[in-house]
Amino acid sequence: MMPRDRTKLKIVAAMLGIFVLGCVTGAALSTLYQLRAQGTDRLSYGRGGPGDKREAFFEQLRRDLNLTEEQAAQIRQILDQTRDEFRRLRAEVRPRYDAIRQNADARIRAVLTPEQRARFDAIVAQKEAERNEAEKRER
């Protein structure tokens, strides 16, 4: 085989390898996108996510388990009751979490300079706003 032919063969092999890697990458990304679009978090109903995640979980159960209407109604009631129990528990323990968080914030503020404290207070306020927003979405 001539050196020129070997060079052409190497070029074709490299291009073929790049093409195969592109196909594999594309297939992997497509699968990942489809899984995320389907919402594969099966337990999201209990994690305080938005209601659409709970509804998606319920619909997955209905579809995958081929539930009767009676079963679906009973399971929806169970999921709703469980959500309410989690809310009550959160309301009970929230003051304890808040006290721990406030204590930690005070201890951190004691270490900071006045300029750093102002920035820290802004960060804490932003985090609190995010927590409040998440609670609103949950309801």
Q: How far apart are CA 130 and CA 136, in angstroms?
A: 10
Average pLDDT, the chain: 83
SS3 41: coil
pLDDT for res 40: 46
pLDDT at 34 over 60: yes
Q: Which amino acid is at 130?
A: E
Q: What is the pTM of this model?
A: 0.49
Q: Minimal CA–CA distance to 54: which of 30, 70, 78, 36?
A: 78
